[in-house]
């Protein structure tokens, strides 16, 4: 964040750097996006103006852990569920660069996409990893996903992603 603000820290301590960042951000209109937050963040401790006294600085965060939104005093929450099978397939096709609907590869690819259980990150990551791979490699991936320790991806804590705005 300091780099994007062209801020060179003079202070060495954590508190000193937080204060310098705080000073730079005071009064500036800014949207800070924090994606996939798993731990509580103390914005004051790291130097991000926060709360009613700092309305210019908006924070948007995404998390699978709803209690993070409450802890960080988010004012608005939006919950995103899993993709439907059609939405998942569309996203997967884009990331795997699949075009021909009737190919043998797409038959295997649909199995792989189903194993991603509608989860955005899985669909994108697996789709990109298998882009330009052979049918045999797709079949191996399908079996590995089916037999993986994550067989029940849809039951992972926080299957709904929470988007919070402060």
- Residue 141 φ/ψ, nearest 5 degrees: -60, -40
Low-confidence stretches of the chain (pLDDT beneath 50) = 151-159
pLDDT reported for residue 157: 42
Q: What is the DSSP letter of 98?
A: -
Closest CA to 38 of 161, 165, 166: 161
**Each residue's pLDDT tens digit, 145-165:** 888 755 444 444 444 566 666
Query: What CATH number does the domain located at 85-154 have?
Result: 1.10.8
pLDDT reported for residue 59: 82
- Where do the domains of the chain lie? 14-63, 85-154
Distance CA 116, CA 131 (A): 15
Q: With 0.85 as the threshold, say if the pTM is over it.
A: no
pLDDT reported for residue 128: 95
- Give the Cβ contact number of residue 28 at 10 Å: 11
């Amino acid at each position: 964040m300091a780099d994007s603000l062209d801020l060179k820290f003079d202070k060495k301590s954590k508190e000193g750097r937080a204060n310098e960042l705080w000073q730079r951000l005071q009064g500036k209109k800014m949207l800070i996006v924090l994606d996939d937050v798993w731990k509580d963040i103390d914005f004051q401790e790291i130097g991000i103006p926060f709360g009613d006294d700092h309305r210019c600085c908006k924070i948007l965060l995404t998390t699978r852990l709803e209690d993070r939104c409450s802890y960080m005093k988010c004012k608005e929450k939006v919950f995103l569920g899993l993709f439907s099978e059609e939405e998942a397939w569309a996203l997967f096709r884009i990331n795997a660069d699949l075009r021909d609907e009737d190919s043998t590869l797409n038959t295997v690819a649909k199995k792989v996409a189903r194993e991603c259980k509608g989860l955005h990150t899985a669909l994108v990551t697996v789709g990109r990893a298998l882009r330009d791979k052979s049918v045999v490699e797709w079949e191996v991936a399908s079996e590995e996903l089916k037999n993986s320790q994550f067989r029940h991806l849809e039951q992972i804590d926080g299957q709904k992603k929470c988007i919070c705005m402060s």
